[in-house]
Amino acid sequence: MGNTSDKILAAPCGIFCGECKVYKAKDNPQLQQALIARGMKKESVPCPGCRSVRGVCPAIDTICDTYTCAEKKGVEFCYQCTDFPCSRLSPAVDKADILPHNLKIYNLCFISAKGLNKWLEEAENIQNRYFQGKMVIGKGPEMPAD
């Protein structure tokens, strides 16, 4: 991870498209069929990442408002905007257990502070800690021992 082709998978909002099931369906025909069975358009699966499709997200079947906003404001990432952080990036508990959107602010701050390449190296681990980590007070999320 972290090569030039991965950079296109870094969404303006801080989501790593490379970890999305709709993107990962490119290597998994069964996942492709399952997503289509759930109502996604066949021509949208797999998704090459939001930058490649100019913000047309197959999960919402329209252009992402956050992507449009970043384009309109002329920023590559939301953290570069004078309005950062804004309500579009606000976390919500709804679907937090299945969607990585609560990671946006953390990811954008990471990219801002340490750079895109370092974030691309860490993006999978960050997302795994979010979904699989166990919160330890005073330490943050830790991965369970195997």
Read off the pLDDT of residues 80-137 as tens digits, 9 standing for 90 and up.
999 999 999 988 888 888 888 899 999 999 999 999 999 999 999 999 889 988 988 8
69 within domain boundaries = yes
Distance of alpha carbon 53 from alpha carbon 63, whole angstroms: 9
What is the number of structural domains in the chain?
Answer: 1
Q: SS3 for the chain, per residue?
A: CCCHHHHCCECCCCCEHHHCHHHHHHHCHHHHHHHHHCCCCHHHCCCCCCCCCCCEECCCCEECHHHHHHHHHCCCCHHHCCCCCCHHHCCCCCCCCCCHHHHHHHHHHHHHHHCHHHHHHHHHHHHHHHHHCEEECCCEEECCCC
- 40, 22 Cβ separation under 8 angstroms: yes
75 within domain boundaries = yes
Of 29, 57, 65, 19, the residue nearest 41 (C-alpha) = 57
65 within domain boundaries = yes
27 within domain boundaries = yes
41 within domain boundaries = yes
What is residue 146's predicted lDDT score, i.e. its pLDDT? 61
144 within domain boundaries = no
Domain hosting residue 132, numbered range: 4-139
Of 146, 137, 107, 114, the residue nearest 16 (C-alpha) = 107
Q: Write the pLDDT tens digit of every residue in 65-81.
A: 999 999 999 999 999 99
146 within domain boundaries = no
59 within domain boundaries = yes
pTM: 0.82
- 88, 69 Cβ separation under 8 angstroms: yes
